[in-house]
A and B are shown apart, each in its own frame.
Chain A
Amino acid sequence: MGITRRLFGGTALAAMLLAGGAAQAQDSVRIALVVKALGIGFFEAAAKGAEEAAAELGSVEVIYTGPTDTTAEGQIEVINALIAQNVDAIAVSANDTDALVPALKKAMQRGITVISWDSGVAPEGRQMHLNPSSNPLIGNMIIKLAADNLPEGGEVAVLSATTTSTNQNIWIEEMNKVMGDYTGIEVVGTVYGDDLADKSYREAQGLMQTYPDLDAIIAPTSVGIVAAARAVEDAGKVGQVNVTGLGLPSEMAGAIESGASKSFAIWNPIDLGYSATYLAYELATGDAEAAPGAEIPMGRMGTLTLDDNNEGAMADPFVYDESNIDEFKSIF
């Protein structure tokens, strides 16, 4: 008897919730933020940004969801559930470029706005993609980080991942294109740490020996930047050699504390979640359309310009230093 009542009570409650949800759907835009997996600091921070955008836009309900582990299968299940709930928009950071396409196509056929952010899906599976940043912006940022601390110019060297790592090579190439803007800065060499802590450490040590006047090491890779910072600390060159590049605040907090790194950059997940939500809202309400060349507003982050692939870059990578590292090191 007790069980029956509890079951019945539960069903009634669920029905009420559903009814409430349906009623709310009439006047608010429901945007689902689908992440790679729940419980990851980076995505929790993105959800925070999404809530911020929702509060700003008003009448927006954010559904933060995702699988429990980073699999495409899990995301497909989540997407199917969202289609069943008939949300207005899905903004997804994909675990697989192609695997999600059929499910997302189905969503679009039902009139749901679909965009991808952070990690994209193939063009046929979404209306547009929001890149956290662009290759030229990243290339410019890594050299700028080094140059900002070297007003009188100096020698910098690059510690990359592997020789065949596509994104690293593109960033370094973009960096070399804008070298002319930073007078007095000379790139003396590029070495490869293969994304291994011990090899990166050795390569950083080698750089400091080969170039005794080295002023900065730029490592656009998270393993490399941490290892280089350690090598600089162990060589007693904190203050002489500045380590910078791309890394995560939680991993780099120690290096900022010791002074081996003055600043480094990576995209800000809060801004990313904020922008994705804003863009999804604009598309879902029909205020904007995803087409090559379109300029879509995204609140405090400015506007996003789409390229021929319906992709756009949010902003410069976000710079982390002493002033904000404590705030972010616990987030991601």
Chain B
Amino acid sequence: MRTFLKSREAILSAAILALLALIASRFPAFVEPGNLARVFTDTSPLILLALGQTVVILTRCIDLSVAANLALTGMVCAMLNAAYPGVPVAAILILALAMGAVMGMINGIMVWTLNIPPIVVTLGTMTIYRGLIFVLSGGAWVNAHEMSAAFTGFPRADILGLPVLAWIAILVTGLFFIGIARTPLGRAFYAVGGNPHAAVYTGIDVGRTQFMAFTISGMLAGLTGYLWVARYSVAYVDIAGGFELEVVAACVIGGISIAGGAGTILGTLLGALFLGIVKNALPVVDISPFWQLAISGTAIIVAVAFNSRSARSKGRIILKRAEGHA
């Protein structure tokens, strides 16, 4: 089983390398280290949200409100900065994390205590959060010249040749690798998604675990909200419109089973990178915009086809590992 999972990530890695080779054959400059770093930076928001989404999907839930959460937090951060340019970036970061977490908790509480299906809850909160942006901003933009230099400079500040935005993605990915593999909560995500009934018998609170997953997802969405707005130096109502689907797609391509309980952090990372490379390469290799959507869609369908094959044996992982630990 482990070897099969390993080979799944191997397939994805091979696909990414093949994709890069294909692009390089048409446009060699794309694979220069400097450009690959740019592509990684550009994919960082997707990686951050996909990691949060991964733990949500692992627990058999889905969070469709991440893009709206991102947009609302981003707008609040931008409006705060426009009104009080003196507020330090550290305070804005804390605000973004807290706001995002609270919005994630709202999703989590409704799934946990009211037992409403996650897709319904997050579809509802998605609309509410988007609506709130209108209420707060009155539909107006916050523009580059209204933001302070520190505010817009933070995600693009250079550390060892990579912008802070990329470092944050690397740091969070590292935390997830450790958190999923080495903490009880990380294992609980798999247990809850793999077999909720069995999880209850081992003393795991299913609802609470799902609540934690939503909180983590929301917190990352909030953080990304600030980074997004600062990076593009503009905040408007439709920021990251439709981005939630891209986030779910990254997870699915990465092999996270929509039925819960199966998939890896490495898979999500590779899935996000795959999508990021496709999105960044399509404008460069001069493919008709009419084809671009079709190509992205094909990549997702192929990935889902792979997933449905691997889904057959899902669930056994948990039992096996649980046996091993017992």
Contact = CB atoms under 8 A, between A and B. Distances in A.
Contacts, number: 75
A80 to B, nearest CB: 26
Given A163-B289, A205-B38, A329-B145, A227 B283 contact: no
B234 A226 contact: yes
B238 A251 contact: no
A329 B144 CA distance: 11
B141 A250 contact: yes
A210 B141 contact: no
A327 to B, nearest CB: 14
A230 B239 contact: no
A283 interface: no
A197 B228 CA distance: 10
B143 A253 contact: yes
Contacts of B29: 209
Contact of A191 (B35, B231, B239, B289): B289
A206 B280 contact: yes
A254 interface: yes
Contact of A201 (B232, B236, B290): B232
Contact of B241 (A196, A209, A253, A257): A196
Contacts of B233: 226, 230, 254
A251 B143 contact: yes
Interface string A230-247: 100010000000000000
B240 interface: yes
In this complex, the interface size class of chain A, counting residues with CB under 8 Å from chain B, is 20 to 34
A182 interface: no
Nearest to B229: A197
B144 A210 contact: no
B239 A209 contact: no
Contacts of B284: 206, 209-210
A318 interface: no
Interface in B139-158: 141, 143-145, 147, 156
A198 interface: yes
A202 interface: yes
A254 B120 CA distance: 40
A205 B231 CA distance: 14
A115 to B, nearest CB: 27
A41 to B, nearest CB: 9
Contacts of B241: 196
A207 interface: yes
Contacts of A163: 289-290
A226 B146 CA distance: 14
Contact of A253 (B35, B144, B236, B283): B144
Contacts of A207: 283
Contacts of A196: 238, 241
A255 interface: yes
A255 B233 CA distance: 10
Interface string B101-127: 000000000000000000000000000
A258 to B, nearest CB: 8
Contacts of B144: 226, 229-230, 251, 253-255
B35 A209 contact: yes
B306 interface: no
A189 interface: yes
A329 B289 CA distance: 34
A197 B286 contact: no
With most chain A CB atoms within 10 A of its CB, the pick from B27, B38, B234, B280 is: B234
B32 to A, nearest CB: 10
A17 to B, nearest CB: 32
B42 interface: yes
A64 interface: no
Contact of A198 (B143, B145, B236, B240): B240
9 contacts: A189-B286, A191-B289, A205-B42, A209-B27, A227-B232, A230-B144, A250-B141, A251-B234, A257-B145
3 pairs of A and B residues whose beta carbons are closest in the complex: A254-B144, A206-B283, A253-B145
